[in-house]
Amino acid sequence: MDKNKPDVIEYEDSENWKGSNDKLSVKEIGLRLFSKALAEGSKEMTGSGVDKRLIGGQLFEIPRPNQREVFVNSVEMAKMFLLPLIQKSKHQQMFKDCEDKIIKVNKECEDKMQKINNTPQGRNGNESIDIYNKAVEELTESYEFMNVKIHKELLAAISFLLSENKYFDEVGYIG
């Protein structure tokens, strides 16, 4: 960090590094994190898995990341970076509401997982592992979709926060 310019942080974008010594302002970093979360949120929300592609007569397995987790992590990192602004924001309640929803969903998921683990299939993996696996898979799908929905609300709160702090003014946005 430059001592003469406290709002300028040296930043290295490891994905697009070009060997330059560009210094980005805190606002530019915040906007990049917000933009990344928007981009990840606009993709199809698929779970992880393996895609099979036929290339040149050969079948290749291509791992697919869990897009839901990628989106949630992008929003969480943007939120972490913007915490100092959130603490002073008039939109604090939006963030608190989202956090409360996340805690509630996590608790519900833990309770349901406990019930699944206490079923005969959960205690005796030999009896009907397919039933157990199906229940865990359905719970995971439900949890991930609810988590994505809440993080979309959190991303909207971040948008209001950035607008409140005039982040969009630098790029000519008038809202």
pLDDT in tens, 41-68: 998 888 888 888 888 888 988 888 889 9
Give the three-state DSSP class for 165.
coil
| Residue located via tokens 């630098």 | 170
Name the more confident of 154 and 66.
Answer: 154
CA distance 101 to 159: 19
* pLDDT above 50 (res 122): yes
Work out the burial of residue 18: count CB atoms within 10 Å of its CB; fewer than 13 is exposed, 13-18 middle, 19 or more buried.
exposed
Query: Where is pLDDT greater, at 122 or 82?
Result: 82
Cα–Cα distance for residue pair 113/143, rounded to 1 Å: 11
- Host H or E run for residue 7: none
pTM of the model: 0.74
Pairing, β 23-25 against β 49-55: unpaired
List the one residue out of 6, 7, 82, 99 whose CA is nearest residue 37.
82
Q: pLDDT > 90: what percent of the chain?
A: 47
Q: What is the widest separation between alpha-carbon atoms in the chain?
A: 68
